[in-house]
Structure 1
């Protein structure tokens, strides 16, 4: 005879085991899902920490640029010390106090730095004798210009163009612009003919160049740049 009691008991056991299995499956799935979320969270924290450390190191590893100390143009045998200059009261760029030195504009870019490194020097002195940039107008496109900074590091620029610029040219200040993210150099001296009305030459000779070698240590040249002492002289006009 059919034993309903035994059947019901067996059925309850089967249902109980099925329910336990289902609970175990759900619990395992939940644990796996939670573990995955935790792993993803921990991985995200690791990535964020690495990114933060990388940004800190990136700040510390940024190149440091400093003041130029010496200018060398081998093609015209120029080897001069550099000192800072500012803007004069009339808005023009000041000139060095020494006929045989160059001046770098203190608010312009440093050697190797993005922007425009601006250096000027005298063409001649008050008696018409050659000064620091007497031969600058002989520089040719493609020639190299070297600048040694205060760390003794050399930055090399390749000349890209040379030209004369009228002192009354309304766009004359455009030569100082630099918006392309490259390190440039601009060298300036007097040119043209003497204009007694203004007490200066009627043109400026300009040499422009782009950074050619990112930087190499100057060695002996840098040491000599620091060791040279040149007597300063007062200047009335460029």
Structure 2
């Protein structure tokens, strides 16, 4: 598929859906996440969902205010579908291939953001143990998927 801005996503198996905003990099080189815990973001410095390469969508698991956009992401299973509607009125349908958790100190940047062959989509949120001192999770949940079809 050619490049087109993704506008919304749907993960029916966990009843997660919503609009997408573009995110980039923070001043320290880390990847931005949406300020709103109920909003998902597409990493615009990488491929768009459906393009060759690794597209990435990020969002919060929760906040002190409640459940975040990807609160149930860790419950996604291989074979589940992730649909991404794009500005060109096409929908890219991705089939989940794997769900993994990585400690933030050993996060596999290249595996998540680097090319993995074909058109892939990784969805990332926080998970694992919550550190009360730093007020953040110690790990990230990553859902890996590959383009299955386009409508």
TM-score relative to the length of structure 1: 0.60
1: distance between equivalents of 2:138 and 2:2? 38
Shift of 1:65: 1.9
Of structures 1 and 2, the larger Rg is shown by 1
1: distance between equivalents of 2:41 and 2:60? 9
CA contact (8 A) 1:146 1:156 kept: yes
Shift of 1:172: 2.0
Give the alignment's Cα RMSD to 1 decimal.
1.4
Shift of 1:197: 4.3
Partner of residue 184 from structure 1, selected from 120, 126, 138: 120
Aligned to 1:76: 14
CA contact (8 A) 1:166 1:172 kept: no
Q: Deviations over 1:42-83 (max 9, x none)?
A: xxxxxxxxxxxxxxxxxxxxx532111101011111111100
Which structure 2 segments of 5+ residues have no match? none
CA contact (8 A) 2:2 2:50 kept: no
Partner of residue 173 from structure 1, selected from 87, 100, 109: 109
After the TM superposition, which parts of structure 1 deviate over 4 Å for at least 4 consecutive aligned residues?
Answer: none
Partner of residue 130 from structure 1, selected from 45, 67, 82: 67
CA contact (8 A) 1:82 1:101 kept: yes
Which structure 1 segments of 5+ residues have no match? 1-62, 217-238
The question of 1:105 aligning with 2:43 is answered: yes
What is the total number of aligned residue pairs between the two structures?
150
2: distance between equivalents of 1:125 and 1:205? 16
2: distance between equivalents of 1:187 and 1:117? 9
Counterpart mapping for 1:43-122 below 5 A? 64-122=2-60
Give the structure with the larger helix fraction.
1
2: distance between equivalents of 1:179 and 1:201? 27
